[in-house]
Amino acid sequence: MPLIKTFEQRRFSAHGPVPRPVSMGRGLAVMLLCLQAGQSLVAPEGDEAETVFTVLDGEGQVREGESTHAVGPGDVVHVLPGEDKALVAGAGRFTVVGVRRLERRG
């Protein structure tokens, strides 16, 4: 597994969130999610992936199904398979690593 220097790979855009795949493994994807003030990133309808979000910097919210969590640096939210999910940036920049399970094991 390569070392991922997330702060060197951050990219922000006034046009919207910038999701960047930084590593793909067998069944897992690591995404760097970069948002600016007020931007949101919503998983598409029908997204069944189990996901763990870890906040690197900034403040915002993680929506998990019907729950909304106010989050900041160091916070982790584990979203179980089948739950709707979204990120919403607060003031300033909001950087999150998302690790998604790509295949369901049954």
What's the pLDDT tens digit per position in 86-102?
A: 999 999 999 999 999 98
pLDDT score, position 1 = 55
Percent above pLDDT 90 for the chain: 76
Look at residue 98 and give its three-state secondary structure. strand
Count of Cβ atoms closer than 10 Å to residue 88 Cβ: 19
Q: Cα–Cα distance between 13 and 49 in angstroms, integer?
A: 26
Closest CA to 37 of 96, 97, 90, 95: 90
